[in-house]
A and B are shown apart, each in its own frame.
Chain A
Amino acid sequence: MTSATPPPATGAAPVLRCAGLRKSFGERVAVADVGFEIASGETYGLLGPNGAGKTTTISMICGLLRRDGGEVFVDGRPIDIGTTTAKGAIGYVPQDLAIYPDLTARENLRFFGRLQRLRGKDLDRRVDEVLEVIGLTDRAKDRVEGYSGGMKRRLNIGIGLLHHPKLLVLDEPTVGVDPQSRNAILSSIADLESEGMAILYTTHYMEEAERLCDRIGIIDQGTIQAEGTRRELIELIGGRDRVVLTAGGTLGPAAEALRRLDGRIAEVTVSDGRIEVIVVEARSILPAMLETVASAGAAVRSVEVVEPDLEAVFLHLTGKALRD
């Protein structure tokens, strides 16, 4: 629907700026006119199903794939297939495990650190720091082939962090990871954002995009269908939550009190011992709603907040589910 590149949310100069990216493989158009910007300290998510064009887009941004059209600037410098020095601003974490199983974690990190032009004590220090961050200090001297899947994933990410990149590109880093490791990985990524790194994160997991990303581009069939914060995207389909209160007692006065509570409450209905409230940003007003209902003499037994999510947005925009 749109390939516009709105200004980054933070207002800072963009670390990544790409526009008009196009790539075809034979007759098949993989990416058609994709563009967006990411500012320092911002996490941008590319959310889309498998085959949507996420990895192709990332490959062009990292200078790994010759593009048919468009431009990429990282930290103000152009990136293309033949670029060398400017790539130092990028930390690339591929979807598949791109590590050497017959080397130790330390050897893997040292090797990729040297490729990133780290030397001597700087290299040693960064390797130690990254091992600490990814929680592999104790296993640093073990060959990677003996690691669990989650440990390998963490090492895969750690390699991308070695040289303090300005832009960290993560291509579906949690695919095939157990829930516990996934949680640890997502927490680590959230910490990186707070360190001022710009992060480009591709995923087909809606929950990850919602949890991590400041802004999200919904991509399908090689095109960014919509872009914005989670709230902005949800507003595309109305942006209102539905709160279902199951309560005992007389519910009429409680409903009336809720209607008067706040302008964000759009609609209140009562039926079969339940009060249904249509409200904007339910979570922010929920405590006040419960207090109001209780004050009106109703005894709340359960609360259910049904928020419109990115899955619904994707469905709305493309007519299909994210995991189709």
Chain B
Amino acid sequence: MLSQVMGIAAKDLRQKVRDRSAIILAVIAPLALAFLFSVLLPSSYDSFSATYAVAELDGGPIARALVDGPLAGLASSGVTIVTAADEADARARVADGSASAAIIIPAGFSDAVGAARPATILIVGNADAPLATQVAQSVVSSFASSVEGVQLAVATVMASGGAADPAAVAQEAQALAAPVALRTDATRDRLASSSTYYASSMAVLFVFFAAQFGVVSLLAERRAGTLSRMLAAPLSARTVLAGKLVVSIVLGCVSMGIIAVATSLLLGARWGDPLAVAGLIVTTVLCASGIALIIVGFSRTEEQASGFTAIVAMLFAVLGGSFFPLSQAPEVLARLSFITPHAWFLRGIADLGSGEGISIVLPSIAVLGTVGLVTCAVGLLRAERAVIPR
């Protein structure tokens, strides 16, 4: 049986090599798009820049600790801090677009913290700069969490009759706030470089087209009569289906593999640990092949199957973050994206951007592998019922 499966796969692959449209759609088109996007659409994460208008109206030590600590530390991450005279000035800068976000520290902030009373820092975001606003919010939230921890200690001291020293609180908060800067940097790293993002997103988008080339030929062979001729030989329908599935998997892996290598060499994309990338590619291809096989099982002609595949591939690509980073998407969409293989694959590639090995992408590989096996099984059953002549 294995020899027959390989015979079918070898024959199909020979045909695909001769039919240049498969190579164009599986390799050249995604490479070209990844190149164009990387060159023409420089990403906000490669050249992240933002201007924060800071209205420090408190003058106390804790407010200074925020300004001089975490906020000042953002300068190395492409953030410019400008001082606003008051809240109105800060808001005006955001409104006229000269600032991406405003951070307003009200008067009495440090005293309130020192007295363990509620204290508020106001962030005003520019609707056109959601990522910059998100980063500002993240930095301030982290600082606030640190302050909260210190505040608890202060409250304990005061409850025991001691006195709280705001300068000491600030010092403590600043010390605890150190992870804020780390977290901000981590957010940036997680988004990966633009070339890596576009290379991986185009690879996962086009792998659906590459994978369909294998299984959709079932319908072409049925129309041409060669499927019946194959089935008249001493083999089972599942042998034929397995041969076609192998073609899809090989085409998908070759497509993504070439894109990974080529974009690494030509665009400087950093895909990460090769073993982990291979795991992500194989499991993603399995998903794409299984889904393509299910589509074939519900199609009557090659044209219909190609149309359905295009719809599903584009829908998944939009939903899964192939066209824009999910970090910039509404939370609902970001959550919904994880029904797509694209999101898990791109998440895996982004995780590898931190420099870690395969262990960090094991959850993504597990999800993709499970979905791939299930869709392949369902696709085989469906195609056996629907495509094989009865």
The interface of chain A, by Cβ under 8 A from chain B, is 59, 62-66, 81-82, 84-88, 90, 92, 94, 96-100, 102-103, 107, 111-112, 114-117, 119, 159
Please state if A82 and B231 are interface contacts (CB–CB under 8 Å): no
Please state if B7 and A84 are interface contacts (CB–CB under 8 Å): no
Q: Verify if B370 is at the interface (C-beta below 8 Å from A).
A: no
- For A98, the chain B residues whose CB sits under 8 A away are 224-226, 228-229
Please state if A115 and B228 are interface contacts (CB–CB under 8 Å): no
Q: Verify if B233 is at the interface (C-beta below 8 Å from A).
A: yes
Which A-chain residue is minimally distant from B7 (CB atoms)? A114
Q: A81-B390, A92-B229, A114-B3 are in contact. Are A103 and B15 (CB under 8 A)?
A: yes
Contact of A97 among B225, B230, B390 (CB under 8 A): B225
A-B contact pairs, 17 of them (CB 8 A): A62-B232, A64-B228, A81-B390, A84-B236, A87-B234, A98-B226, A98-B228, A102-B15, A103-B14, A107-B11, A114-B3, A114-B7, A115-B4, A115-B7, A115-B234, A115-B235, A117-B234
Contact of B389 among A64, A92, A102 (CB under 8 A): A64
Please state if B234 and A112 are interface contacts (CB–CB under 8 Å): no
Q: Verify if B96 is at the interface (C-beta below 8 Å from A).
A: no
Please state if B390 and A100 are interface contacts (CB–CB under 8 Å): no
Which A-chain residue is minimally distant from B231 (CB atoms)? A64
A98 vs B234: C-alpha distance when bound (angstroms): 17
Which B-chain residue is minimally distant from A81 (CB atoms)? B390
Contact of A119 among B3, B230, B234 (CB under 8 A): B3
Please state if B233 and A96 are interface contacts (CB–CB under 8 Å): no
- For B15, the chain A residues whose CB sits under 8 A away are 100, 102-103
- For B7, the chain A residues whose CB sits under 8 A away are 111, 114-115
B17 to chain A, nearest CB (A): 10
A-B contacts at CB below 8 angstroms, number: 73
- For B232, the chain A residues whose CB sits under 8 A away are 62-64, 87, 90, 92
Interface residue tally of chain B, by bracket? 20 to 34
- For B236, the chain A residues whose CB sits under 8 A away are 82, 84
- For B224, the chain A residues whose CB sits under 8 A away are 96, 98
A86 to chain B, nearest CB (A): 7
A247 vs B225: C-alpha distance when bound (angstroms): 57
A66 vs B8: C-alpha distance when bound (angstroms): 24
Contact mask B359-390 → A, CB, 8 Å, 1/0? Answer: 00000000000000000000000000000011
- For B229, the chain A residues whose CB sits under 8 A away are 92, 94, 98, 112, 159
Q: Verify if B128 is at the interface (C-beta below 8 Å from A).
A: no
- For B18, the chain A residues whose CB sits under 8 A away are 102
Please state if B11 and A66 are interface contacts (CB–CB under 8 Å): no
Q: A103-B14, A111-B11 are in contact. Are A87 and B226 (CB under 8 A)?
A: no
Which residues of chain B from 267 to 309 have any CB-CB distance to chain A below 8 Å in the complex?
none
- For B235, the chain A residues whose CB sits under 8 A away are 84, 115
- For A66, the chain B residues whose CB sits under 8 A away are 390
Contact mask B178-195 → A, CB, 8 Å, 1/0? Answer: 000000000000000000
Q: Which 6 A-B pairs have the closest CB atoms?
A: A92-B232, A114-B7, A115-B233, A98-B225, A88-B234, A98-B229
Q: Verify if B19 is at the interface (C-beta below 8 Å from A).
A: yes
A90 vs B233: C-alpha distance when bound (angstroms): 8
A262 vs B226: C-alpha distance when bound (angstroms): 56
A92 vs B389: C-alpha distance when bound (angstroms): 16
Which A-chain residue is minimally distant from B230 (CB atoms)? A115
A128 vs B11: C-alpha distance when bound (angstroms): 19
A125 vs B53: C-alpha distance when bound (angstroms): 83
Which residues of chain B from 16 to 33 have any CB-CB distance to chain A below 8 Å in the complex?
18-19
Please state if B226 and A86 are interface contacts (CB–CB under 8 Å): no
